[in-house]
Amino acid sequence: MMKDEKKTTAAEGAAAEEATEAKQNSAETGNTAQEDAADSAAKELEEAKAQLAAEKDKYLRMAAEYDNFRRRAAKEREAAYTDAYADALMQIIPVIDNLERAASFGNEGDVKQLADGVNMILSQFGGVLEKMGIEAFGVKGDAFDPNIHNAIMHDEDPEQEENVITEVFQRGYRKGDKIIRCAMVKVAN
């Protein structure tokens, strides 16, 4: 009976060994599947991190490009304004030169020559405004328009038509549709 017990024990030992080996193989196979899943997840994580870094870099470059565009546009606007301002002054400076000449002549010459010089300067200045596209308005006899005229006095003259300009104190100026200055006038009621 001992022999049978040994055989049974040996058979049980062999079966136990096979079961242990099967468990180890199963555990190794499970570990390999878990390791494969972990490796796959790690790869996906690295790819997501790389894609995030690329998108962040793209965003930062786009933000920097927009900031540079904004600065450049502001600088160009300011340069255009400065150029327009300088062009306008270059048109006006010769008129100032002529006024200075007239002022110095007033001490030496007669009044008629001075008046002629001032009238020539006014004519020159009118030409400068015309070159700049600026139109003067507000002439005696024009119809009163509250959008472009500023009535500072009323005239009770029965011979004049109603809402007609009878006197101009300051002419108005406009460039296209933009009113630069309203004309100051006296209007008949």
**CATH assignment of the domain containing 188:** 2.30.22.10
> Over the stretch 53-103, which tens digit does the pLDDT of each residue have?
999 999 999 999 999 999 999 999 998 988 887 888 788 888 878 887 777
pTM tops 0.85, yes or no: no
Give residue 36's pLDDT: 86
Q: Is residue 151 part of a domain?
A: yes
User: Are 114 and 69 part of one and the same domain?
Assistant: yes
Asked if residue 37 has pLDDT above 90, the reply is: no
Q: Is residue 49 part of a domain?
A: yes
Give residue 49's pLDDT: 96
Q: Order across the sheet with 172-175: list the strands.
A: 135-137, 172-175, 178-181
User: Are 146 and 127 part of one and the same domain?
Assistant: no
User: Are 111 and 154 part of one and the same domain?
Assistant: no
We report the CATH number of the domain holding residue 58 as 3.90.20.20
User: Are 47 and 127 part of one and the same domain?
Assistant: yes
User: Are 165 and 106 part of one and the same domain?
Assistant: no
CA-nearest of 189, 139, 148 to 167 is 139
Asked if residue 136 has pLDDT above 80, the reply is: yes
Q: Which of 92, 117, 132 corresponds to the end of one domain?
A: 132
* Enclosing domain of residue 189: 135-189
Contact in structure between 165 and 140 (CB atoms under 8 Å): yes
User: Are 144 and 81 part of one and the same domain?
Assistant: no
Q: Where are the alpha helices (DSSP H) in 106-177?
A: 111-131
Contact in structure between 172 and 181 (CB atoms under 8 Å): yes
User: Are 86 and 113 part of one and the same domain?
Assistant: yes
What percentage of the chain carries pLDDT values higher than 90?
38
Contact in structure between 168 and 140 (CB atoms under 8 Å): yes
Q: Is residue 15 part of a domain?
A: no
